[in-house]
Structure 1
């Protein structure tokens, strides 16, 4: 007998030929199953098409006989005939995708690499954490439809319960009495779990899961170490665990081997994935989105991209954007290629020099003084994504085939590229909605302090940041280098236009940085607020990109470059707005590899700066800065600083045998290998600078220190020099050169006292 259930779509995944959905309403959560027959399209030589279809027939993978339909070519925009194939076995898609290169240049296959669950959600128009109405019989879905609007900016969440799990000391050290598991439920429950008998450990974990029945397991290094260990024990001992709500046993492949890859000059490590079934597992250390925007940001991106929550938590914001673009392409009846189908056109060396440039940057003129007053910072709101949206920049719209023979075209400044005038680009259409959503959330934040709005806008910010990179990424489905170069070309023109409009008045532009301008009056006096607002409006109308006042600085400091003291550094500055708020960019306090002790010193130092409203006041407080330095120096010399607050962080970029010098990285990796701990490129290590038995400096990994029974002997001169650098970075232009020279000359005396 058919029944109806309404609730939030909590989890969705496919097992063999079935789609499994979990729907939550209040404290009730129900499981449903559905059938799904994904569709792909093929085009090519008739004999190859027939061979491909025959193979699917042999696999019993055809839901019904293929038919010829009309679909739109992505790059040409023309309707073409293709064979539509509906599959009974979604798992066959993986086989097809893995063997696509065998058909290269023989057969074009479309829609084959769209994730099965995402394809299912898109086809029936539902999305994660949207409210659905399910008509069902037993557990089988008769019909399911959404009663939520994906376009809603304000939407509710179901009530979610959390259970946190982590190692007490360090995820790389083995489970032991000194390093037990810690389970926590908010402020109400905390327990350290260590049992010599493995069955007792698994039994206690089940008891806690039964007691709290959490919706979300929030782990620290769960994917990398905790779940491989726990699930490995459970499989070995054949002891069923209750992490999954799904009662059907799921065989997991137990591995703690992740993958390392390089992107934008950085080596990234991604741990193996351990999703749960009917319950959500989010590893805070294996989720960029969670680190930046917590669960609210993951939900925002999962809804928009139709990627299930656990998969979204472990995916990049670029993957989410690609899914949103794919949905728009499908809406317009485009055939979505399985990989980028348009390669870069041949160009002359002159064209490369003229076009292949980045954003416009001008370095601060040190002759104007590095401590400035009454400076206004103007920012173009999400400049590159806004350019892509407003100027219709997309892989199929730059140098489009449909406008090739048109006599009148709009050419991109500084290039011989033109933009399509006949159709809206998939990328620009996708970004328009994202820009509008983020603008709404930021507007709401101006009226009310909300963690939810902050998380959502932050998640969207990172999606917008990656949108420009993906437009030029060689493997991006919706990427093309000419489109990427068009963005920077327009960006440079926008910034130059703004600079010219500003300098046609009695104002000057001191510094530009891709999407920001630092403006001052020639007299040095404050600029009227209404005048700045009017200027922003004029520039916005001229460039089609919104220009906003980031803030007016009481004082602004550009630290000098270490390579050349005569110039500033493009992306390192700090200052105090007239509102009293500090803005910090690129200094030690903002860097993730800075020890907490050094951060604490610079943070306290900048609070003293924050009390000052002018350059004169900054200089008058020099005695307070030096007193603070000596206070922290004394803490070091008297060993009153915990070694944990002195740990430095470093990313391992390669294997041990690839390093050619004996550095912090090599010493730490060697120590970890002696403990039978493998480190993969892209993983982060923490280490301490210590004094060895000969009095010399060396490096000790955090794991080595934790395993040792002795307290580490800190190499104090290293950290004192770090303190000097932290002071010098923000106050070098408030003191003369002799001051810092004297501090460093006192190093020998300080080192002698610290022995």
Structure 2
């Protein structure tokens, strides 16, 4: 029976199932989560004796399982069943830090299946499918951050509507809505609503109030800060309530990118229940998909990776330690440009070349299968290709349905699912090089890059033979323009390359023109900054410039887009600068709504750790003064009101009442955004400022003559 969510109690586990006609519960009093230990037989016997009297342990047994991908025989391991899920990690740490140092040599034991999330572990170990049998009912609860800080329950919005009345009235109305809708999922603006609402109900004597299908709630984890790929992130506290999944909008990347439909698609693939999938990172969900496949193959998941990078000579390191294909763009405006790219290039390479930890540089072959490297690739089908191929194929099928359906609801359904799978495919390559990836290996990462570079170079050569010139290329995309009048049709070249490598080379867009932007500090082209007009459509494409940056205020982003449109319509830089001058006049006349000037910054460390007095630190100090907290990895939104000061008065937070802003500061920011638009035409910031002065002088002269 498909599962909605799981409750863990000392007396066992309660399963909640969203059935076709409501919700059912099933109690499993005998569940005991399991970890596995590998080591020398004599050491395992001794450890068995030491664990026998541990009250956390309910069962010990010797079993045989595969302990690594590609293993030909199963290894004898010690199975340890633990009484309660929360004690499993405790026991693992005791084995590693107490039992092992006390009686054995370091690294005597290798532990498996330790760090699985609780509900996911339950589904894997009990073979319970966590896919609801019907459409889920949702209820959305929203409380603006200032009201959350002030515990203003009376400002709560339920499905977008604010209840008229005091706190007690709001809670009674919420209780009625919970009873009427009987939601399976609570979509919360912040998970902090859970303890806040429950506490408020207690304070007002509403004994029957319950956010769950039964009373009570549980804190699963506290707030934490983490670093991933050089970026600091923040994970808010997580909570559980009986019978309902909680999705915290502040802590759900996948809800933002794929909606509830995308989350459900990933639930089906990973068997991580809804709430755990919603808060999971891309890497966390990808790992779950891999773990489900590994479990089906009877392969255990290592707790800590211990396989080191293979030894390489200096020459091998030089050949292997390179990134993807890069062909620097030609700065300037180019006419008649086409963009082509390989669909899901890296995932497809992993599948077509059979790149997986157990197949790369295998012992059963002595040949150089990877271009430029000496790595062999095994002929036996690899683990990673088996994981990725269904995702690639399903996403392609979703995109085909999107292109052929006229039903908006059906289109949205498949768009959300395709978007969710996109992010899994985007991450799968980088995850191979991640040091903590359960089934990753740096040699796979190197092999994938090597194959990708070769494919892109071969594609470039084939395009040039067909009469095309490559003006830019990066990773999996190429921008080309006809080199001769009698060139081979681009569609024919793409089809030929697709047939040759069995990876689709897709004709993405034709452009009337594309402008490649130089780097801010040099004349070389910026690899990921360009904009252009799509041919045959009233549409522009922007990449990397301010309008695509999350920190950019809406007004500056809008004006930058307008400057691009002005250039497209006039092809005259003077007209663009006149448009810029008008926008600057509005700014300086303070005729812009401050709400359109909000900047967003992501904090990277605690306030006390900052040594520079920046706008971000000013915003953090102001937030603290207003009783708000900002942990590393969280965003802070503000408007600059006086850039000449350095304390909290430098800014106003976005939710405050803002009567004025600093025109000079935003004028500088707008000119910098305009430089991104005009720099491909040869205009630097100094040139633009000079042209603005001349434009102002001409305007003043014209006005003076009219007055006379």
What is the TM-score normalised by the length of structure 1?
A: 0.83
Q: Aligned pair 1:389/2:369, yes or no?
A: no
Deviates more, 1:549-558 or 1:628-637: 628-637
Structure 1 residue corresponding to 2:302, chosen from 334, 337, 357: 337
Q: Aligned pair 1:58/2:6, yes or no?
A: no
Structure 1 residue corresponding to 2:8, chosen from 14, 31, 40: 14
Determine the C-alpha separation between the residues in 2 that align with 1:434 and 1:492: 24
Is contact 1:182-1:193 (8 Å) kept?
Answer: no
Determine the C-alpha separation between the residues in 2 that align with 1:328 and 1:410: 29
Distance 1:39 1:267, change over 3 A: closer
Determine the C-alpha separation between the residues in 1 that align with 2:672 and 2:515: 16
Determine the C-alpha separation between the residues in 1 that align with 2:42 and 2:648: 71
Following superposition, the deviation at residue 630 of structure 1 comes to: 4.5
Match runs of 1:589-628 below 5 Å = 589-608=547-566, 612=568, 618-619=570-571, 623=575, 625-626=576-577, 628=579
The answer for unaligned runs of 5 or more in structure 1 is 1-5, 132-156, 750-755
Q: Aligned pair 1:185/2:147, yes or no?
A: no
Q: Aligned pair 1:547/2:500, yes or no?
A: no
Following superposition, the deviation at residue 352 of structure 1 comes to: 2.0
Is contact 1:293-1:459 (8 Å) kept?
Answer: yes
Structure 2 residue corresponding to 1:467, chosen from 421, 428, 446: 428
Q: Aligned pair 1:29/2:26, yes or no?
A: no
| Counterpart residue number, 1:648 | 599
Distance 1:689 1:51, change over 3 A: same
Match runs of 1:244-263 below 5 Å = 244-247=211-214, 249-252=216-219, 258-263=223-228
Q: Aligned pair 1:218/2:187, yes or no?
A: yes
Deviates more, 1:646-655 or 1:719-728: 719-728
Determine the C-alpha separation between the residues in 2 that align with 1:333 and 1:696: 59
SS at structure 1 position matched to 2:641: strand
Is contact 1:172-1:677 (8 Å) kept?
Answer: no
Distance 1:696 1:297, change over 3 A: closer
Following superposition, the deviation at residue 163 of structure 1 comes to: 2.6
Determine the C-alpha separation between the residues in 2 that align with 1:33 and 1:311: 20
| Counterpart residue number, 1:115 | 117
Q: Aligned pair 1:455/2:427, yes or no?
A: no
| Counterpart residue number, 1:723 | 670
Q: Deviations along 1:522-558, whole A, 9 cap, x unmatched?
A: 14x6966xx2222112222333422111111111111
| Counterpart residue number, 2:40 | 45
Q: Deviations along 1:54-94, whole A, 9 cap, x unmatched?
A: 45442466666624435464354433333445555444423
Distance 1:651 1:114, change over 3 A: closer
Higher share in helix: 2
Q: Deviations along 1:571-598, whole A, 9 cap, x unmatched?
A: 0111222241322211222111111111
| Counterpart residue number, 1:375 | 337
Structure 1 residue corresponding to 2:689, chosen from 741, 745, 749: 741
What is the TM-score normalised by the length of structure 2?
A: 0.88
| Counterpart residue number, 1:136 | none
Determine the C-alpha separation between the residues in 1 that align with 2:147 and 2:695: 37
| Counterpart residue number, 1:99 | 94
Structure 2 residue corresponding to 1:354, chosen from 315, 319, 339: 319
Match runs of 1:79-478 below 5 Å = 79-87=74-82, 89-102=84-97, 103=100, 105-131=107-133, 157-167=134-144, 170=146, 173-176=149-152, 180-185=154-159, 189-191=161-163, 194-195=166-167, 202-220=171-189, 222-223=190-191, 225-233=192-200, 240=207, 242-247=209-214, 249-252=216-219, 258-366=223-331, 370-400=332-362, 402-403=363-364, 406=365, 408-421=366-379, 423-448=380-405, 450-478=411-439
Matched length: 685
SS at structure 2 position matched to 1:267: strand
Following superposition, the deviation at residue 274 of structure 1 comes to: 2.0
Structure 2 residue corresponding to 1:688, chosen from 639, 645, 656: 639
SS at structure 1 position matched to 2:557: helix
Following superposition, the deviation at residue 332 of structure 1 comes to: 2.1
Following superposition, the deviation at residue 457 of structure 1 comes to: 0.9
Following superposition, the deviation at residue 654 of structure 1 comes to: 1.6
Determine the C-alpha separation between the residues in 1 that align with 2:54 and 2:425: 42
Determine the C-alpha separation between the residues in 2 that align with 1:744 and 1:504: 46
Is contact 2:330-2:516 (8 Å) kept?
Answer: no
Distance 1:652 1:85, change over 3 A: closer
Is contact 2:621-2:648 (8 Å) kept?
Answer: no
Q: Deviations along 1:596-651, whole A, 9 cap, x unmatched?
A: 11122233444556xx5xxxx5415963x456434433433443322121111111
SS at structure 1 position matched to 2:15: strand
Distance 1:348 1:175, change over 3 A: same
SS at structure 1 position matched to 2:311: coil
Determine the C-alpha separation between the residues in 1 that align with 2:181 and 2:590: 44
| Counterpart residue number, 1:152 | none
Q: Deviations along 1:117-144, whole A, 9 cap, x unmatched?
A: 323323454433243xxxxxxxxxxxxx
Deviates more, 1:312-321 or 1:102-111: 102-111
Determine the C-alpha separation between the residues in 2 that align with 1:637 and 1:594: 18
Q: Deviations along 1:660-709, whole A, 9 cap, x unmatched?
A: 22111222222223334332111111121113899999731406x72x7x
Deviates more, 1:322-331 or 1:89-98: 89-98
Is contact 1:71-1:82 (8 Å) kept?
Answer: no
Distance 1:63 1:682, change over 3 A: closer
Deviates more, 1:594-603 or 1:644-653: 594-603
Following superposition, the deviation at residue 269 of structure 1 comes to: 1.1
Following superposition, the deviation at residue 334 of structure 1 comes to: 2.1
Determine the C-alpha separation between the residues in 1 that align with 2:330 and 2:374: 34
Is contact 2:17-2:23 (8 Å) kept?
Answer: yes
